[in-house]
Structure 1
Amino acid sequence: MTNLSDEPAITRLYARLVVSDGPRAIEFYRAALGAEEIERYTDPGGRIVHAMLRLGDAVIAVKDADDADPAPPSLGGSPVIMALDVSDADAVAEAMLRGGATVVYPVADQHYGQRGGRLADPFGHLWMISQTIEELTPREIQERTTDLFTR
């Protein structure tokens, strides 16, 4: 029997919603659901690359669509990316691969202080797996995000 304490622990799960107009979507979720914006990171043109919203005891993320992540209308459906925070991104990715998942973006150290990647499960659902490897302030994340987009 496997000791569960030796397994990678899931530390958080939230939906990441891809939308055609991030600011308008955030306003909609605020008005319709009482959402509170917790954080927002943008590219140099002001497009949202990540915004976190609290809805009661739950959180969701919102981002503007781009070439890598289209909004639902362009696909005829919802391209929701499930973001899963874990204690060991490599181990969870490997377990998903053993179960038939495929790599979209390999697990690697990311500019925003996470080690993670993106996988598609055997049913077509997208999962962003990540673990914290560096504690950064919102300002540091925004500076790194800006640097990444202006290289």
Structure 2
Amino acid sequence: MTATTTQQSTLQPRLIVADAGRAIAFYVEAFGAEEVSRYEGDDGKIVHAELRFGQVSFTLKDEEPGTPDVGPSDLAGSPVILELTVADADAVGTAMEKAGATVIYPIDDHPYGRVGRLRDPFGHVWMISQN
């Protein structure tokens, strides 16, 4: 059996949220993200927005009930943990809490590093680790 090689060089998460406009405001406040682009449908729902902070880039969109594009609240949580490695995990965790995230596991020292988990107001789980 041979390994398959992909031609892609990046993987960009796309978060589906119940209120993309509010989510963008949260990520700007919590991470200092910059909104790179935003596209809205005729109904005013965000169909694509790109955010960037440092070297991190991700996209998001409004959920669409009745389609596969549903957020964590429709799935009883998210099966994905987004790991974000930063220089100061405590500062990022504090900023996330201030912006409305809830702590799942407090940021603390572990044998594998300084790390904690927080859930953003839209149901996505972030593991904040310190480099």
Scaled to the shorter chain, the TM-score interval is 0.5 to 0.7
Deviations 1:58-77 (CA, angstroms, capped at 9, x unpaired)? 10111000032111111101
Alignment partner, residue 78 of structure 2: 78
Deviations 1:32-89 (CA, angstroms, capped at 9, x unpaired)? 0011011111110110111000021010111000032111111101276xxxxxxxxx
Deviations 1:78-133 (CA, angstroms, capped at 9, x unpaired)? 276xxxxxxxxxxxxxxxxxxxxxxxxxxxxxxxxxxxxxxxxxxxxxxxxxxxxx
Matched, 1:20 2:18: yes
Alignment partner, residue 62 of structure 1: 60
Looking at structure 1, the residues matched to 47 and 29 of structure 2 have their Cα atoms a distance apart, in angstroms, of: 21
Q: Secondary structure at the match of 1:37?
A: strand
Q: Percent identity?
A: 46
Runs of 4+ in 1 over 3 A off after TM superposition: none
Superposition RMSD in Å = 2.3
Structure 1 unmatched ranges of 5 or more: 81-151
Alignment partner, residue 30 of structure 1: 28
Query: Deviation of residue 11 (structure 1)?
Result: 2.5
One-letter code of the match for 2:49? Answer: A
Q: Secondary structure at the match of 1:52?
A: strand
Alignment partner, residue 42 of structure 2: 44
Alignment partner, residue 109 of structure 1: none
Looking at structure 1, the residues matched to 23 and 79 of structure 2 have their Cα atoms a distance apart, in angstroms, of: 15
Q: Secondary structure at the match of 1:10?
A: coil
One-letter code of the match for 1:41? Answer: Y
Looking at structure 1, the residues matched to 46 and 79 of structure 2 have their Cα atoms a distance apart, in angstroms, of: 17
One-letter code of the match for 1:28? Answer: F
TM-score (norm 1): 0.46
Alignment partner, residue 115 of structure 1: none
Looking at structure 2, the residues matched to 79 and 17 of structure 1 have their Cα atoms a distance apart, in angstroms, of: 12
One-letter code of the match for 2:21? Answer: P
The 1:50–1:79 alpha-carbon spacing in structure 2 relative to 1, beyond 3 Å, is farther
| Matched pairs, number | 78
